[in-house]
Structure 1
Amino acid sequence: MRMVFRWYGEGNDTVTLEQIRQIPGVEGIVWALHDLPAGEEWPMERIAEYKEKAAAYGLHTEVVESVNVHEDIKLGLPSRDYYIDNYKKTIVKLAEAGVKTICYNFMPVFDWVRTDLYKELGDGATALFYEKAKIEGMDPAELVDRIANELNFTMPGWEPERLKQLSPLFAAYREVSEEQLWSNLRYFLEAIIPVAEDCGIQMAIHPDDPPWPIFGLPRIMTGADAFRRLLGLVDSPANGLTLCSGSLGANPRNDIPAMIREFAGRIPFAHIRNVRVYDNGDFIETSHRTSDGTVDIAGIVQAYHQTGFTGYARPDHGRHIWGEQCRPGYGLYDRALGIMYLWGLWDSLEHGRKERLA
């Protein structure tokens, strides 16, 4: 397991590279050019700039999250070929800069949805929260007003240029069924996966967050059946998964350790985090500790260890603790605690393996 840490860049993140390199076992950053609109070709000089900054602190830039997919590609519009061509050019440039894994998603309009960015927990910490009844009775424009206007940072999936087109996008997606979205995903993968394979890059799709339809929009990356279908669309080692335990864990029917064992070898990137799911369908993000949520984090780490996982992993979202003022879900303290919990589980499994071999 190769531990990495998401970083949004200077001036767009309260966490510094100096702090990241002091977290035990962290070897690289997970990064992106968040200020570029989806569909633009990434400039080589900007890519090199990130690589140089990270290298100055002994960190690599081998994982990118995300090269966002333009909505015209998801909608299957005639203009998609232009944006796919830009995507392919960006893959080639990233490979030249040493990138090994690109995380992306195929979620219409919203990359993730929560109703509260700072819901208070019993101990005074706050965390990202999803209230099912509010979403079911809410106009999506109201959600944008509630969430996007609270943000002091750019947030993937909530880019201003995308949100300005909210009404036309929803109108366009009324004509897109789940099967049509699958067809559009196949078209995209058939175009980019050969390029990624030639470049030695693994594409790793992120599951939908949460893993069910919202606001009438189709959602297709929701669990094991979807992953089987995805991997069969273009059967290539370059076509893989970002297995996110938090996104998938919002649906208790998802058996994440079983998925890890089934799809071993096709998971280049793991997001490991916990959520507590309530009987009414609400969920809140918790510490990484297994007993604090309803996701079997210990079982997940055990499954990665048993399958010989050598891919990249990051602690994903954390709570906001100890008065830290930070990007929602992406402070330093709780993610660093999460890393040490994950290392503790991993090291105990390694110790047990060595004892058995002795």
Structure 2
Amino acid sequence: MIETWRWYGPELDRIPLSEIAQTGASGIVNALHEIPYGEVWPRPAIAARKRMIEDAGFVWSVVESLPIHERIKRADGDLSTLFANYRQSMANLAAEGVTTICYNFMPVLDWTRTDLAAPVARGGTCLRFEAYRMAAFEVHMLGREAAREDYPQEVLERAAIWFQAASEADRDSLLHAIMSGLPGAFDRYDIAGLRAQLSLYDGIGREELRANYRRFLQEVIPAAEDLGIRMCVHPDDPPRNILGLPRIVSSEEDIAWILGAVDSPANGLTLCTGSLGANPANDLPRIADRFAERIHFAHLRNVRKDPDGSFDEAAHLDGDTDMVAVIRALLDEEARRRATGRADHAIPFRPDHGHELGPDIGRGTFPGYPLVGRLRGLAELRGVMRALAHPVHHG
């Protein structure tokens, strides 16, 4: 497998490529986050970023993400220009030899956490989703009464207690954590702004969002086939409805629907063990094995779940997901591809997220993306891969 590292670019990321080089990763996962959604990524800008990455000794392995404009997710108005711009960005990336594109179809937020610095045993911090704090945000801060149907009674009771005791700073901190799931360098909403964004999805349920997603796939996958690009959808994070918004990339059944909606090798999956792992119904080794042929990229991380729907981001080998079994499925798929003569048999992966440890505490890196915690994860994952690939000698 190809070891990669997510980097947010020279203007946004506090970790320079010179430090990333010390991790041993060979590939960079990057995007032009400075370009507003819906605009074309110019080929000269792509070429300049690729040159920067290669001059530092890396390959630009995966684009994460080429974002989908919210109007496409809502099927809002004439989308011809937005689809044309997306295809042109794909063509410009392919012209520069960047041919794996990770993206998501989550409405409004890319991911949702309630705590960006939850304490970890023996020191350090992690990202956490706390069900009662999310319920407090939805019911008491946003005033979304329908959210009461989304949580167990005991969670709602804890939410009310927390909200009554919370200071203005506590509530601001919760809003900041939730807004950190907005990607790139753009919009962060206050309560009124978030309500306005959510209102744009009124009347859009699961089936409507699925129809809009199918249209997106029909618009872009033929272009991907022509360009030699592999698109790979990232699962919902967390894999459940949030803020009254439907989530449609959350389960094994969802993935099967997506890959069948436009049945093409270019229509693939980013296997994110952390996102999918937060759903107790998801069997990650089974999902990895079932969809192995269409996995074009992997995010490897772990979560530890609580019965009420809360979860911590655990160390990479320490959570509820059997990471060794998942990696074995991916290595088996690589062997199958190699046996068919595929030159691109290797699957790029990255150590997804990581605990904030030691010198990274207070450094101001992106939530979930410190240097030391991810390096620890990469080292652990690398060890598993080496062990599984090592021939067993009996004697």
CA contact under 8 A between 2:4 and 2:61: conserved in structure 1? no
2:2 is aligned with 1:17 = no
2:366 is aligned with 1:327 = yes
Distance 1:147 1:69, change over 3 A: farther
CA contact under 8 A between 1:109 and 1:162: conserved in structure 2? no
> Partner of 2:289 in structure 1?
261
Separation in 1, partners of 2:251, 2:291: 12
Superposed CA deviations along residues 63-116 of structure 1, whole A, max 9, x for unmatched, are: 000011101000011232221111111000010111121000000111100001
Percent pairwise identity: 41
2:200 is aligned with 1:172 = yes
- Aligned match for 2:173, one of 146, 156, 160: 146
Distance 1:154 1:43, change over 3 A: farther
Separation in 1, partners of 2:184, 2:48: 24
> Partner of 1:223 in structure 2?
251
> Partner of 2:326 in structure 1?
300
Structure 2 residue runs of 5 or longer lacking an equivalent are 143-169, 336-345
Separation in 1, partners of 2:87, 2:354: 33
CA contact under 8 A between 2:109 and 2:181: conserved in structure 1? no
- Runs of 4+ in structure 1 deviating by more than 4 angstroms, as ranges, are 140-145, 147-151, 153-156
> Partner of 2:347 in structure 1?
311
2:95 is aligned with 1:96 = yes
2:126 is aligned with 1:127 = yes
* Count of matched residue positions in the alignment of Structure 1 and Structure 2: 352
Q: Which amino acid aligns with 2:107?
A: P
Separation in 2, partners of 1:254, 1:150: 26
Shift of 1:158: 6.7
2:306 is aligned with 1:278 = yes
Superposed CA deviations along residues 335-357 of structure 1, whole A, max 9, x for unmatched, are: 1111111111111111136x48x
Shift of 1:155: 6.4
Distance 1:148 1:139, change over 3 A: closer
Superposed CA deviations along residues 29-53 of structure 1, whole A, max 9, x for unmatched, are: 0000112221111122221111011
Shift of 1:149: 4.4
TM-score by length of structure 1 reads 0.92
Q: Which amino acid aligns with 2:204?
A: V
Superposed CA deviations along residues 200-247 of structure 1, whole A, max 9, x for unmatched, are: 110000000000001111111011100110011111110000010000
Q: Which amino acid aligns with 1:171?
A: S
Q: Which amino acid aligns with 2:217?
A: L
Shift of 1:138: 1.3
> Partner of 1:63 in structure 2?
62
> Partner of 1:339 in structure 2?
378
Separation in 2, partners of 1:163, 1:192: 30
Bigger Rg, which one: 2
Superposed CA deviations along residues 283-328 of structure 1, whole A, max 9, x for unmatched, are: 1112112xx2112111111221222262110001000001312221
Deviates more, 1:97-106 or 1:137-146: 137-146
Distance 1:241 1:223, change over 3 A: same
Separation in 1, partners of 2:27, 2:181: 21
Structure 1 residue runs of 5 or longer lacking an equivalent are none
Separation in 2, partners of 1:150, 1:254: 26
> Partner of 1:137 in structure 2?
136
CA RMSD of aligned residues (A): 2.3
> Partner of 1:116 in structure 2?
115
> Partner of 1:161 in structure 2?
187
Separation in 1, partners of 2:83, 2:21: 35
Q: Which amino acid aligns with 1:349?
A: L
